[in-house]
Structure 1
Amino acid sequence: MAELLDDLRAETASFEALLRPLGDDDWERPTPAEGWAIRDQVSHLAWFDDAAGRAVTDPDGHRAALAGSGRGDGPGDVAAGGPAGSWVDALVLEARGRTPADLLAWFRTARARSIEVFTTLGARDRVPWYGPDMSGASFVTARLMETWAHGQDVADALGVTRPPTARLRHVASIGFRARPYSFAVRGLPAPAEPVRAELTMPDGAMWTAGPGDAESVVRGPVLDFCLAVTQRIHLSDTALEMAGSPAREWMEIAQAFAGPPGRGRAPVSG
């Protein structure tokens, strides 16, 4: 958990580094998420950081609020092409009146508060969220994954290329473990065949998951895998190689984030 929290702090710093040089007009730049500007990516993270802190400190209250709100199916990820007009869209619309300085202060305060709360979590503690409860380790990993993914939206809007880091192992991990969920959220039967991932980290080391004797394998750069499972890129625009139909069927619908199926991104390459 200490390592996870350190990496979440580092990912937070990387996200803030994208925002600090921006002028007020830059916050209105459109991102690849249809209808979302940079400001919306920030308010989205800030709102869910506040919610994450409450889920840890007052789990019963969080469950009660979900029961009365109709939001129990999960926040989805509109920024990855989730359903338009969802309540997540409504949340960013509510924040449109805030100034960029106010949004940045909100994000910083909400993130700092949530990280402080996360220090009380054990790796196996259960935390209620939108959809199934999560372990403490998975909960923190999910916040890191969300920060990285929405940071990618901001970087794309700015035309910035971010160097991949070793923190991508966390995104890869939650994306790999979400394989059954990718099918379940679409009402498809859980896959019986095992799949293995063999991904090249930025330093050249190999990151692997899944049984070593699995016949179906996903191979390629960890960055491409992470972009694919967070639906920030179309599978055809990656350098990923999939051996066996179970691997390909999964990667075509892979979804690391909670909520209803995302629409993903349109292909760029011809």
Structure 2
Amino acid sequence: MADPTAVLDDLTAEGDELDALVAPLAPASWALTTPSPGWTVAHQIAHLAWTDEVTLLALTDPDGFRARAEHDLRRSRTFVDDAANDGAREHPAALLRRWRQSRTAVDRALRTASPGTRVPWYGPPMSVASVATARLMETWAHGQDVADALGRRRTATARLRQVARIGWRTRDYAYLVRGASPPSEPFRIELTAPDGSLWAFGPQDAGQRVTGPALDFCLLVTQRRHRADLAVTAHGRDADRWLDIAQAFAGPPGGGRPPGPVGVGDHAAGPREDRGQAPERAG
């Protein structure tokens, strides 16, 4: 059984980094558009706060969460956007306070969860470690949108290993969500970490491989950059096909981002699903 302490520490650090990015912003900057269509900086933080709140409900009141999820899924396909829109209307100071409170409460609930806990979700239940990793992936991905809106360049850290691992584990999901059968053979993923070391996932003798910088791979699987703008290389036909559809988030197929520079006011070509509407389903 995996000890979630390390990924929980990474999740806290990732949230703190994003907090430091948005806390000094004037209210007008919270209204800046991000590369996700129709979403401002405020929408990004509101989405993280909402997801933390429903995660907390899943951890502390599983039956209550199941009723909530059933209602959400039956009510509308836009419930994720609706929650973000509602949150974005809050005053930035109140929204920031709400996000801080929700992520602190989730951290406490995850750290005190009983070993072997399976947390219900909009997809299959997840382990505590998988919930923490999914929250880290979403925090990093939405933080990238915020950084892009502000024209900031973030420093890649070892925390990306958790994001890369989700990208590898969700390979089959990218096919299944498109109604396609995933390849029968496993892939080998070899990535250059920010410190220059090697991160590897999958069997060493796999015939299909993906190589490149860890940051670029993470930007690809979270659909924050177009493949053409990244130094990620496929070795094998199946691996090449996967890089065109990879997504580390749950939900319908993401539309991805158009090729070319991303910055303030830029918009993605795809629909809302590339916002990472729910944590990963694998694990």
TM-score over 0.5 for the pair? yes
Query: Structure 1 residue 93 and structure 2 residue 46: aligned?
Result: no
Equivalent residue letter for 1:20: A
Tell me by how many angstroms 1:120 deviates. 2.0
Task: Write the distance in 2 (CA, Å) between the matches of 1:123 and 1:162.
Answer: 35
Query: Structure 1 residue 136 and structure 2 residue 128: aligned?
Result: yes
**Pairs within 5 Å for 1:93-242:** 93-121=85-113, 124-242=116-234
Instruction: Supply the RMSD in Å over aligned alpha carbons.
Output: 1.6
Partner residue of 1:35 out of 34, 38, 46 = 38
What TM-score, normalized by structure 1, do the two folds share? 0.92
Tell me by how many angstroms 1:123 deviates. 6.4
Distance 1:12 1:72, change over 3 A: farther
Gaps of 5+ in 2: 262-283
Equivalent residue letter for 2:231: A
- Contact 2:224 2:256 survives alignment (8 Å): yes
Equivalent residue letter for 2:70: A
Residue 66 of structure 1 corresponds to which residue in structure 2? 69
- Contact 1:198 1:206 survives alignment (8 Å): yes
- Give SS of 1:252's match: helix
- Contact 1:130 1:258 survives alignment (8 Å): no
Query: Structure 1 residue 257 and structure 2 residue 249: aligned?
Result: yes
Residue 60 of structure 2 corresponds to which residue in structure 1? 57
- Give SS of 1:132's match: coil
Tell me by how many angstroms 1:242 deviates. 0.6
What TM-score, normalized by structure 2, do the two folds share? 0.88
Aligned length: 258
Query: Structure 1 residue 243 and structure 2 residue 246: aligned?
Result: no
Residue 9 of structure 1 corresponds to which residue in structure 2? 12
Equivalent residue letter for 1:94: D
Gaps of 5+ in 1: 74-84
Task: Write the distance in 2 (CA, Å) between the matches of 1:165 and 1:211.
Answer: 25
Residue 266 of structure 1 corresponds to which residue in structure 2? 258
- Contact 2:221 2:247 survives alignment (8 Å): yes
- Contact 1:123 1:137 survives alignment (8 Å): no
Tell me by how many angstroms 1:136 deviates. 1.4
Task: Write the distance in 2 (CA, Å) between the matches of 1:123 and 1:218.
Answer: 34
Identical aligned residues as a percent: 51
Tell me by how many angstroms 1:190 deviates. 2.4
Equivalent residue letter for 2:208: S
